[in-house]
């Protein structure tokens, strides 16, 4: 544990075995910073819309509701991309489960249209392991452990959130 600005955050040592809330044991490895940055930079942000005023001047309108929604979507995609990179560098201590019951459940949810696994090939071992880690191994509360293992603190997350101006105005 380390203390930052009065808050205690979990910092796990590389290769330390951690039991997730789902009971799955993992070893956290720090994801390469350049991969995290590249994944984030690959998310396209919308251009600020321009409107023409009555006097003919064109001005940017950063408060346009569709633009605000598109920015929030882009920020969420950046978060998802960074989580994916971090998950890719987590090792399963006991490997994948011996039975494939979890795959049957994932397939079922895919058929129902609740999740989209179109980018994954569950015949590929790397894809299969990634899908297991992302959708089965990590519970909601485990994401804080994952980000803190990569030294992304709550303050970092709040700073990123605060850097988006207009949250309150988007209603």
Residue 147's pLDDT band, with cuts at 50, 70 and 90, is confident
* Mean pLDDT, residues 3-15: 49
User: Would you say residue 169 lies in a domain?
Assistant: no
* Mean pLDDT, residues 67-96: 95
Whether the model clears a pTM of 0.85, i.e. scores above it, the answer is no
User: Would you say residue 118 lies in a domain?
Assistant: yes
Range of the domain at 70: 2-160
Residue 62 pLDDT: 94
Number of independent structural domains in the chain = 1
The span from the CA of 75 to the CA of 44, in Å, is 10
127-146 tens-digit pLDDT: 999 999 999 999 988 988 88
The three-class DSSP label of residue 157 is helix
Provide CB contacts within 8 A for 8, sequence distance 6+: 1, 2
User: Would you say residue 167 lies in a domain?
Assistant: no
User: Would you say residue 93 lies in a domain?
Assistant: yes
Sort 104 into a burial class: Cβ within 10 Å, 0-12 / 13-18 / 19+. exposed
User: Would you say residue 165 lies in a domain?
Assistant: no
User: Would you say residue 103 lies in a domain?
Assistant: yes
Residue 103's pLDDT band, with cuts at 50, 70 and 90, is very high
6, pLDDT greater than 60:
no
What size, in residues, is the chain? 171
The span from the CA of 102 to the CA of 116, in Å, is 15
User: Would you say residue 170 lies in a domain?
Assistant: no
* Mean pLDDT, residues 5-24: 69
Of 97, 88, 76, the C-alpha closest to 146 is: 88
């Amino acid at each position: 544990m380390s203390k930052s600005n009065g808050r205690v955050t979990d910092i796990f040592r590389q290769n330390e075995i951690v039991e997730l809330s789902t009971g799955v044991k993992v070893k956290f490895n720090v994801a390469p910073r350049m991969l995290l940055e590249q994944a984030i930079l690959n998310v396209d942000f919308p251009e600020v819309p321009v409107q023409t005023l009555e006097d003919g001047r064109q001005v940017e309108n950063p408060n346009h509701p569709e633009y605000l929604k598109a920015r929030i979507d882009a920020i969420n995609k950046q978060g998802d991309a960074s989580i994916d990179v971090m998950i890719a560098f987590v090792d399963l201590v006991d490997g994948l489960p011996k039975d494939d019951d979890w795959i049957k459940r994932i397939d079922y949810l895919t058929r129902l249209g609740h999740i989209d696994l179109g980018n994954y090939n569950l015949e590929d071992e790397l894809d299969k392991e990634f899908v297991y880690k992302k959708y089965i191994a990590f519970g909601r509360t485990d994401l804080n452990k994952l980000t803190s293992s990569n030294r992304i603190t709550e303050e970092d997350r709040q700073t990123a959130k605060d850097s988006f101006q207009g949250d309150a105005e988007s209603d």
